Amino acid sequence: MKVGVLVTGDIAVRAAHSLSAHPGIDEVVVIGSARSRSFRVVPDADGCDVLIGTGDGAPDKARELGVRLVWDGDDPADGVVVWGASPVGVALALAARESESRVVAVAHPDLDEGTDHQVRFPDPIGALKASDVVFGERHVALAKSPDQLAACLAVGAERRVTIIDDGAFLSGIALAAGVAIVADEPGPVWDSALSYLQTAAAMGLVMADDR
């Protein structure tokens, strides 16, 4: 598989590095006017099987290039084949694997401070004020991490599953792992939770659980 990277920020660059070492990826290229010491820079998406990108403008760029996009956006969009490839998507994928999911939460340094209620994340993050939002018809509590660490938390009827890692590293792998679930029909990462999480783990994310 040949993956094209839209120059949309640091997360996409981190995702590119995760993909370049992953089995099944033949080449990663950077598309557009950019400089890269690690990847070949090309003017268009010729020969690319899929693109990765972040931010509101990525779907428009992908449509212009005529190649489907793996995206960190929260909702479906024209030209996007996989969406939700973000820390929130990772948390929802964790929750999708649990019976009677009760809590889905994310702490990340890039999020705003919460205003609704407290969520207790495992140490060293601890208790944080969170705001409730809805993604994919699921409620997710979002909190601002006090430092560079981020956490994804899913609490089910039988166990509590957590990922804690550097926020930028987690965001990059969350985007990169979306490439593994590209299919004929578009969908969010939590609809293919097992494959998505297995790929994220293979790229370096460590999941811990307690019962």
- pLDDT tens-digit profile of 89-105? 999 999 999 988 889 99
Provide the domain limits for residue 24: 2-85+170-208
Q: CA-CA distances (angstroms) from residue 179 to 15, 140, 199, 204?
A: 10, 23, 9, 15
Q: Are residues 156 and 175 in the same domain?
A: no
Count the Cβ atoms, other than its own, within 10 Å of residue 117. 11
Q: Are residues 77 and 12 in the same domain?
A: yes
Q: Are residues 160 and 180 in the same domain?
A: no
Average pLDDT, the chain: 94
Q: Are residues 124 and 182 in the same domain?
A: no
Q: Is 89 helix (H, G, I), strand (E, B) or coil?
A: helix
Q: Are residues 78 and 11 in the same domain?
A: yes
Q: Are residues 74 and 100 in the same domain?
A: no
Q: Which two tokens stand for residue 108?
A: 């990340």
Q: Are residues 147 and 194 in the same domain?
A: no
Q: Are residues 121 and 49 in the same domain?
A: no
Helices 87-96 & 167-176 angle (0-180, nearest 10): 70
Residue numbers in the chain where pLDDT is lower than 70: 211
Burial string for 66-79 (b: 16+ CB within 10 Å, else e) reads ebbbbbbbbebbeb
- pTM attached to this predicted model: 0.95
Q: Are residues 106 and 130 in the same domain?
A: yes
* CATH assignment of the domain containing 34: 3.40.50.720
User: What does the pLDDT look like over 16-57, one tens digit per residue?
Assistant: 999 998 998 999 999 987 778 889 999 999 999 999 999 999
Q: Are residues 43 and 141 in the same domain?
A: no
Q: What is the number of structural domains in the chain?
A: 2
Q: Are residues 99 and 144 in the same domain?
A: yes
Q: Are residues 79 and 147 in the same domain?
A: no
